[in-house]
C-alpha cells in the first residue's frame, strides 16, 4: 500500500479539498437541517421558537404528507418494477449469441443523456390534450380522452412513463455489463443438467445478477425520490391537485414557496432516513456478493 | 440425424431474426418520442398542429431555433450551463484523482476516511440539506454566482472509487521503478499514472458533464437573476410560455438545442463511458 514512504503530509494535502467540500457543503448543512427541524421558524427566518418534536408529529399526522409519501412510493415501485423488468428483458435479448450485440449496447444508452426536464417536456407533447399522439392512441383504444393538466391519473401516468423511459438507457447498459460477467460455464452446466433456458435463467443468471439489480434499485430509487424534480417543476408543478407532489417537490414547496421551513427540515430528516435504509440495503447485498464470486 | 441438425439450425436462424425484430422494435418505440419532438420543431405553427399529425420533418427548424434562442436568451443560459458543466467535470476529475492517489499509494492515518466519505455522499443528496445549503450560499454572498453553481459539486466519491479501482490494477513495479529513479510522488502521478488513466478520465467526464448539464434543483434555488439561470430552467420558461401561446414548434426547437450538448458528449465518448460502467459494475 505504501509505495512512497517518507511523505507524511502529502496524502493529507491530497484528500484535503475533497474532505473540505464534503464537510462544508454536505455535512454541515445536513446537521443544520436536523437542528432546524426542532424549531418553528417564521417566514424569512426572523423568529425561531424551539418546539421539540412538534414538526415531526405534525408531519406524521398530516394527510397531505401521507398522500405525498404514498404517491412517491407507488411511483418509485412502478419505475423500479416496470423499468428494471423491461431493461433486463432487452439486455438478455441483446446479449444472446447474435450479430450486432455491440450495436444494441450503444443504441440504447443515449436516453441516459436526457434530463428529467427534457423527458418531461417530450412526454408532455406525447400526452398533449389536443395534439398528443399518445392521447389520440389511447382515445382510439379506450374511448377515453386523457388530459394530464386536469386528470390526476393522467399526470401521474405521464411522469411515470417519462421516468421509466429516461432510465432505460442506464439500466440496459448496466444489465448488459452484468450479464457479460456471468460465467458461461455455469449456464451451460445447468443446461447440460437438463434445465431449460427459462429455468437456467432464474436459477443461475438472475441470482448472479443480484449485485447489479441491487445497485440499479438504488440508482432508480434516487431518481424517483430526487432527480425527478426537474420533470415535476417543468411539467406538472406537483399537480393537478397533489397528484405529483412527490416528497422532493413537497420539501421544495414547503421550504421555498410556502415558507414552512421547520416542517421542510423535518421532511429532510425523514427523507434521509429513507435514503439511508436503501443505501444500507444496497451495501448489504453487494457485500453478500463477495460470497458468490469467491 | 442430419435432418434434425438442419432443423435446429433453421430454428436458430428464426429465433435470431425474432430477437432482432423485438430489439429493433423496442429501439424504435424508445426513439420515437424524441423523433416526434424534433419533427415538431421543424414545422410552422400551422403544420405542427395539423391533423392527422405530420410525421415527416419540415424546413422551419432554423427559424424556430432562432425564435426560441431569442425568447429565453438561450445564448447566455447555454454559456452558463456549458461553463459550469466543464468546470465541475474538470474539478471533480482533479480532486478525485488526488484523493484516489492518496488512498492507494500511501499509508496514513486518514485512510479509514474512504468508506465513511463514500457513505456520506451517497446518503446526503441535496434535498435532505437544501434549506441550510441555500442559507450557507446566502451567507457566503454566493447567490447568483458561479461559485454556488460549481464549488459545492466538486467532491465526487464516484470518481474516487473509479480511479481507486484502476490505480490498484497498476503493477507495483512501476512505482518502484519510478521511486528508484528518484521520482517524487506527484511526478509519478503526473508522468506515469495520469497518462495511463485517460479512459477513466473520459468516462468520468461524460458522467459528470451529463449530470451537471442536466442539474435542475440546485441552480433553480441559488439563482434568481435571468443572466445566471441555466439551460434547464430556460426550458421551463419556454414550456410555460407555450402553455399560454400553444407553440409546440418553438418549444421543441429550443428543447432540441438544450438536449444536444450532453448527447454529443455521450456519443463521442461512448466507448470510454461503457468501459467506465463495466468497471463500476465489477467493483
What tens digit of pLDDT does each residue of A178-229 get? 888 888 788 778 888 877 788 888 888 888 888 889 889 989 999 999 999 9
CB of A156 within 8 A of CB of A71? yes
Would you say residue A76 has pLDDT above 70? yes
Residues 107-166 of A with CB under 8 A from B: 107-118, 121-126, 128, 130-131, 133, 165
Q: In chain B, whose CA is at the least distance from the CA of A266?
A: B128
CB contact under 8 A, B106 and A173: no
**Could you read off the pLDDT tens digit of each residue along chain B, which spans 283 residues?**
455 677 777 877 888 888 889 999 999 999 999 999 999 999 988 888 887 788 888 889 999 999 999 999 999 999 999 999 999 999 999 999 999 999 999 988 888 888 888 888 888 999 999 999 999 999 999 999 999 999 999 988 889 988 998 999 898 888 888 888 888 889 999 999 999 999 999 999 999 999 999 999 999 999 999 999 999 999 999 999 877 777 899 999 999 999 999 999 999 998 888 887 777 655 4
Residue A210: CB atoms within 10 Å: 15
Global ipTM = 0.91
Say if A29 is an interface residue toward chain B (CB within 8 Å). yes
Fold of A55-293: MetI-like fold (1.10.3720)
- At B1 the pLDDT is 47
H helix count then E strand count, chain B: 16, 0
pLDDT digits (tens, 9 = 90+) for A12-65: 999 999 999 999 999 999 999 999 899 888 776 677 888 888 889 989 999 999
Q: Find the CB nearest A110 among B151, B179, B267.
A: B267
Instruction: Take residue A113 and report the three cell numbers written for it.
Output: 443523456
Q: In chain A, whose CA is at the least distance from the CA of B206?
A: A113
CA pair distance A25, A30, nearest whole angstrom:
9
**A48 - beta bridge partners?**
A41
Say if A259 is an interface residue toward chain B (CB within 8 Å). no
**A39 - beta bridge partners?**
A50
CA pair distance B134, B147, nearest whole angstrom:
13
CB of B103 within 8 A of CB of B164? yes
What mean pLDDT is reported for chain A?
Answer: 87
% chain A with pLDDT above 90: 46
Which residue is it, cell 432487452? A90
Q: What's the rounded mean pLDDT across residues A83-87?
A: 96
**A49 - beta bridge partners?**
A40
CB contact under 8 A, A33 and B129: yes
- At B3 the pLDDT is 58
CB contact under 8 A, B236 and A14: no
Write out chain A residues lying below 8 Å of B108, CB-based.
Answer: 8, 11-12
CA distance B196 to chain A (A): 18
Would you say residue A284 has pLDDT above 60? yes
A147: buried, middle or exposed (CB in 10 Å: 19+, 13-18, 0-12)? middle
The packing angle between helices B248-268 and B270-281, to 10°, is 70
Q: Mean pLDDT lowest for which of A100-114, A233-247, B84-98?
A: A100-114
CB contact under 8 A, B20 and A98: yes
CA pair distance A30, A19, nearest whole angstrom:
15
Say if B21 is an interface residue toward chain A (CB within 8 Å). no
- At A86 the pLDDT is 95
- At B283 the pLDDT is 47
- At B278 the pLDDT is 72
CA pair distance A136, A128, nearest whole angstrom:
9
- At B135 the pLDDT is 92
CB of A21 within 8 A of CB of B147? no
Bond preceding residue A213 cis, omega within 30 of 0: no
CB contact under 8 A, B133 and A25: yes
CB contact under 8 A, A29 and B129: yes
Residues 47-86 of A with CB under 8 A from B: none
Say if A240 is an interface residue toward chain B (CB within 8 Å). no
pLDDT digits (tens, 9 = 90+) for A125-155: 999 888 888 888 888 888 788 888 888 999 9
Say if A37 is an interface residue toward chain B (CB within 8 Å). no
Write out chain B residues lying below 8 Å of A233, CB-based.
Answer: 216-217, 220, 236
Amino acid at each position: 500500500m505504501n509505495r512512497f514512504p517518507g511523505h507524511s503530509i502529502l496524502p493529507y494535502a491530497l484528500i484535503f479539498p475533497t474532505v473540505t467540500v464534503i464537510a462544508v457543503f454536505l455535512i454541515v448543512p445536513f446537521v443544520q437541517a436536523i437542528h432546524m427541524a426542532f424549531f418553528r421558524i417564521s417566514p424569512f427566518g426572523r423568529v425561531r421558537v424551539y418546539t421539540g418534536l412538534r414538526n415531526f408529529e405534525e408531519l406524521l399526522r398530516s394527510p397531505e404528507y401521507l398522500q405525498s409519501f404514498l404517491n412517491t412510493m407507488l411511483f418509485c415501485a412502478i419505475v423500479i418494477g416496470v423499468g428494471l423488468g423491461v431493461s433486463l428483458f432487452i439486455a438478455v435479448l441483446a446479449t444472446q449469441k447474435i450479430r450486432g450485440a455491440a450495436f444494441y449496447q450503444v443504441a440504447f444508452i443515449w436516453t441516459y443523456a436526457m434530463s428529467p426536464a427534457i423527458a418531461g417536456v417530450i412526454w408532455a407533447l406525447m400526452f398533449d390534450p389536443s395534439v398528443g399522439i399518445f392521447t389520440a392512441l389511447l382515445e382510439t383504444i379506450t374511448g377515453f380522452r386523457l388530459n394530464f393538466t386536469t386528470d390526476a391519473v393522467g399526470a401521474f401516468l405521464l411522469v411515470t412513463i417519462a421516468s421509466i423511459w429516461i432510465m432505460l438507457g442506464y439500466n440496459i447498459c448496466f444489465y448488459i455489463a452484468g450479464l457479460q460477467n456471468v460465467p458461461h460455464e455455469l449456464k451451460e452446466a445447468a443446461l447440460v443438467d437438463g434445465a431449460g433456458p427459462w429455468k437456467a435463467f432464474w436459477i443461475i443468471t438472475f441470482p448472479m445478477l443480484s449485485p447489479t439489480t441491487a445497485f440499479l434499485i438504488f440508482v432508480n430509487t434516487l431518481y424517483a425520490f430526487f432527480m425527478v424534480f426537474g420533470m415535476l417543476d417543468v411539467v406538472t408543478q406537483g399537480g393537478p391537485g397533489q397528484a405529483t407532489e412527490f416528497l422532493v417537490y413537497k420539501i421544495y414547496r414547503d421550504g421555498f414557496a410556502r415558507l414552512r421551513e421547520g416542517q421542510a427540515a423535518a421532511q429532510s430528516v425523514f427523507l434521509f432516513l429513507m435514503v439511508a435504509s436503501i443505501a444500507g440495503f444496497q451495501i448489504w447485498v453487494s457485500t453478500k456478493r463477495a460470497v458468490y464470486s469467491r | 440425424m442430419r435432418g434434425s441438425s438442419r432443423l435446429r439450425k433453421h430454428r436458430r436462424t428464426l429465433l435470431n431474426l425474432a430477437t432482432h425484430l423485438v430489439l429493433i422494435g423496442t429501439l424504435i418505440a424508445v426513439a420515437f418520442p424524441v423523433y416526434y419532438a424534433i419533427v415538431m420543431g421543424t414545422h410552422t405553427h400551422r403544420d405542427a398542429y395539423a391533423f392527422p399529425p405530420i410525421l415527416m420533418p419540415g424546413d422551419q427548424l432554423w427559424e424556430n431555433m432562432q425564435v426560441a434562442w431569442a425568447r429565453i436568451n438561450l445564448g447566455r443560459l447555454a454559456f452558463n450551463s456549458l461553463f459550469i458543466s466543464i468546470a465541475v467535470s474538470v474539478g471533480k476529475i482533479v480532486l478525485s484523482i488526488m484523493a484516489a492517489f492518496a488512498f492507494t499509494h500511501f499509508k496514513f492515518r486518514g485512510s479509514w476516511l474512504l468508506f465513511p466519505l463514500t457513505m456520506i455522499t451517497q446518503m446526503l443528496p441535496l434535498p435532505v440539506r437544501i434549506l441550510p445549503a441555500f442559507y450557507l450560499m446566502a451567507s457566503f454572498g454566493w447567490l447568483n454566482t458561479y461559485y454556488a453553481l460549481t464549488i459545492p459539486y466538486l467532491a465526487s466519491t464516484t470518481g474516487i472509487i473509479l480511479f481507486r479501482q484502476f490505480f490498484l490494477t497498476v503493477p507495483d513495479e512501476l512505482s518502484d521503478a519510478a521511486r528508484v529513479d528518484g521520482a517524487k510522488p506527484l511526478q509519478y502521478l503526473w508522468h506515469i499514472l495520469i497518462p495511463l488513466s485517460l479512459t477513466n478520465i473520459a468516462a468520468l467526464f461524460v458522467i459528470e458533464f451529463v449530470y451537471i448539464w442536466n442539474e435542475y434543483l440546485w441552480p433553480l434555488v441559488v439563482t434568481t437573476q435571468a443572466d445566471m439561470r441555466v439551460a434547464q430552467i430556460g426550458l421551463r420558461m419556454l414550456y410555460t410560455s407555450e402553455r399560454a401561446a400553444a407553440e409546440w414548434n418553438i418549444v421543441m426547437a429550443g428543447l432540441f438545442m438544450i438536449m444536444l450538448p450532453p448527447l454529443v458528449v455521450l456519443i463521442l465518448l461512448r466507448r470510454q463511458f461503457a468501459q467506465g460502467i463495466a468497471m463500476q459494475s465489477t467493483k
